[in-house]
Copies of this chain bind each other. A is one copy, B any other.
Amino acid sequence: MRASRYLIATQKETPSDAEIISHQLMLRAGMIRKLAAGLYTWLPMGLRTLRKVERIVREEMDKSGAQEVLMPAVQPAELWQESGRWEQYGGELLRMNDRHGRDFCFGPTHEEVITDLIRNELNSYKELPANFYQIQTKFRDERRPRFGVMRAREFIMKDAYSFHVNAESLDETYQIMHRTYCAIFDRLGLDYRPVQADSGAIGGSASHEFHVLASSGEDDIVFSTQSDYAANIEKAEAVAPSGERALPTEELKEIATPDQRTIEAISQFLNIDAIRTVKTLLVKAEAKEEEDTSNAGLVALILRGDHSLNEIKAENLEGVADPLTMATDEEIEAAVGCKAGSIGPVNLNVPVIVDRSAAQLADFVCGANKEGYHLTGVNWERDLPLGRVEDIRNVVEGDPSPDGKGTLEIRRGIEVGHIFKLGNKYSTAMNATVLDENGKTVIMDMGCYGIGVSRIVAASIEQNHDDKGIIWPDAIAPFQVAIVTLNAHKTPVVAEAGEKLYEQLKQAGYDVLLDDRKERPGVKFADMELIGIPHRFVISDRGLAAGTLEYKGRRDEDKQDIAIEEALPFLINASPRKGL
């Protein structure tokens, strides 16, 4: 491509409403432009990268045996009513009426449509397993779209759905997709981790997320220092400190703690470590058939003072309302008779769930259920029954790894892929069956597998940039090579050498941008670096006189002179991945 005939829409200023570096650089490098909140146009430069990501995803999905389809973006409400999600899905579902007043939505996902298709098309176990995918524009009406294409409303997704006669077959395809995702993210040149994840609202029995590691990531992901254990923070299991609980050494005392309502305040006031305190959180209990008025419909969650509640773990527990709902100040006062900062588990008149680490404490401090008072020297079993113990906290760095090997580290990640075992959630709701080997009608098992195609572009930048701009991995660079000619409009020999090298590299299968614009050298260099093209050749009058051109890799500190005839062999050596 000749830059003089191409939209090079670079900008010097950092746009004020772009918070994260990928959003800033995608705007500055002329990859995208904002149309409205969460809606972006992909300019030619950005689209080239997007298409390369798509292509890698498509090739690996095809290789895995998945079949590509294309379902409509606009979906009729009837199918969502059948699965129950028309009611359950919140404001993120963009609903609309057609000219006849019928209900439709702009699909954020396609479980219903594919399940409807497959229940009509497939009849026998002989046609299974089958895995169908599409690369398609989706819409999620985010309340606060932000970070550019990272959390846009309209975005491009690869979604796949597999169908199975039994759980073993689902497991096999799930493993194939796990490997396929690794192959995709490897080819994309990303530093990523697959982590165990909670399967959450979408239902199902197992799931993994694929995270690109980047400090700007919105998610905490957790690794073992000594094994391949990895999970997102929602899922990562918090194990109790090893050993037996210490024996009581203090007496139970009630002490006045006027105006001390937080763990921090109490710790300072008593001059103890927060690790010796517990906090008590009151949340709504799961609704029951017969209303039990004895405990005001609340449950108490007990955590060590230095730990934080893991809401997902809590709401997944039997007896706890899902989604997790904190009790209001009024409900707390009505049930316990004090404010939130003074609650404690001793003689508490609501059911108690104790975190594993809190259950190991001895001689601890807690609220006295009396405004302005705390208890010290509290001990389980002696002063109060221990009752139900569960894992309800977030892990912290240094926690033992749940597989017993090493301790946990926490890093930030950007979720770019997610694989789920859906089980029979949708196939049961929508009666998607086949005949098995015995001629018996069975509900199909399903898996689903997503990749955020447009998000990957931003995630890659979060991981690969410097103060000059983007640094693309070769595989998804909009152009692999830039040829910058200096003063070519005044120096025919430079223009000629540029054209010659341009044709040579194109012939060899490279995506080449010939920067033949009538701009100052500094402007051209800055643009090519901002855009992030991995390899750059500079052709100048002086270089040609010496029979050389100048090469600089985007990550290199220094330039180097190379004999003109060595340019192609040099490039093949530097970038063996050609011709995407």
A binding-site residues for B, Cβ under 8 Å: 5-7, 9, 33, 35-36, 39-44, 47, 50, 65, 67-76, 91-92, 94-99, 104, 106, 113, 116-117, 120-121, 130, 132, 137, 139, 141, 143, 153-154
Which 4 interchain pairs have the tightest Cβ spacing? A96-B96, A42-B70, A39-B72, A91-B99
Q: Of the candidates B65, B94, B141, which one forms a contact with A5 in the assembled complex, judged by CB atoms under 8 Å apart?
A: B65
> Is there an interface contact between A75 and B137, defined as CB atoms closer than 8 Å?
no
Give the residue name and chain of the B residue nearest to A122 (CB).
B7
Q: How far is the CB of A444 from chain B (nearest CB, A)?
A: 15
A33-B121, A41-B117, A130-B7 as given contacts; A47 in contact with B71, CB under 8 Å: no
Give the CA-CA distance A40 to B75 in the complex, in Å: 10
A96-B96, A98-B94, A117-B41 as given contacts; A71 in contact with B35, CB under 8 Å: yes
Q: How far is the CB of A315 from chain B (nearest CB, A)?
A: 24
A41-B117, A69-B44 as given contacts; A74 in contact with B139, CB under 8 Å: yes
> Is there an interface contact between A69 and B96, defined as CB atoms closer than 8 Å?
no
Q: How far is the CB of A74 from chain B (nearest CB, A)?
A: 6
> Is there an interface contact between B72 and A43, defined as CB atoms closer than 8 Å?
no
> Is there an interface contact between A41 and B72, defined as CB atoms closer than 8 Å?
yes
Give the CA-CA distance A35 to B121 in the complex, in Å: 13
Give the residue name and chain of the B residue nearest to A156 (CB).
B70
Q: Of the candidates B41, B74, B141, which one forms a contact with A70 in the assembled complex, judged by CB atoms under 8 Å apart?
A: B41
Report B-chain residues with C-beta under 8 Å of the C-beta of A71.
35, 41-42
Q: How far is the CB of A106 from chain B (nearest CB, A)?
A: 7
Q: Of the candidates B41, B76, B106, B154, which one forms a contact with A113 in the assembled complex, judged by CB atoms under 8 Å apart?
A: B41
Give the CA-CA distance A120 to B39 in the complex, in Å: 16
Q: Of the candidates B69, B143, B154, which one forms a contact with A41 in the assembled complex, judged by CB atoms under 8 Å apart?
A: B69
> Is there an interface contact between B47 and A141, defined as CB atoms closer than 8 Å?
no
> Is there an interface contact between A40 and B72, defined as CB atoms closer than 8 Å?
yes
A67-B7, A113-B35, A121-B33 as given contacts; A73 in contact with B73, CB under 8 Å: yes
> Is there an interface contact between A117 and B33, defined as CB atoms closer than 8 Å?
yes
A50-B70, A96-B94 as given contacts; A76 in contact with B41, CB under 8 Å: no
Give the residue name and chain of the B residue nearest to A76 (CB).
B36
A91-B99, A106-B106 as given contacts; A67 in contact with B39, CB under 8 Å: no
Q: How far is the CB of A2 from chain B (nearest CB, A)?
A: 10
Give the CA-CA distance A35 to B43 in the complex, in Å: 32
Report B-chain residues with C-beta under 8 Å of the C-beta of A35.
71-72, 75-76, 113, 116-117
Give the residue name and chain of the B residue nearest to A95 (CB).
B96
Give the CA-CA distance A144 to B75 in the complex, in Å: 18
9 of the cross-chain contacts (CB-CB < 8 Å) are A7-B130, A36-B75, A36-B104, A41-B69, A41-B71, A41-B113, A43-B69, A73-B73, A74-B139
Max chain B Cβ within 10 angstroms of own Cβ: one of A33, A99, A153: A99
> Is there an interface contact between A72 and B154, defined as CB atoms closer than 8 Å?
yes
Q: How far is the CB of A63 from chain B (nearest CB, A)?
A: 12
> Is there an interface contact between B121 and A74, defined as CB atoms closer than 8 Å?
no
10 further interface pairs, Cβ-Cβ under 8 Å (given A7-B130, A99-B143): A33-B120, A33-B121, A35-B116, A35-B117, A39-B74, A47-B70, A91-B99, A96-B97, A106-B106, A137-B137
> Is there an interface contact between B67 and A42, defined as CB atoms closer than 8 Å?
no
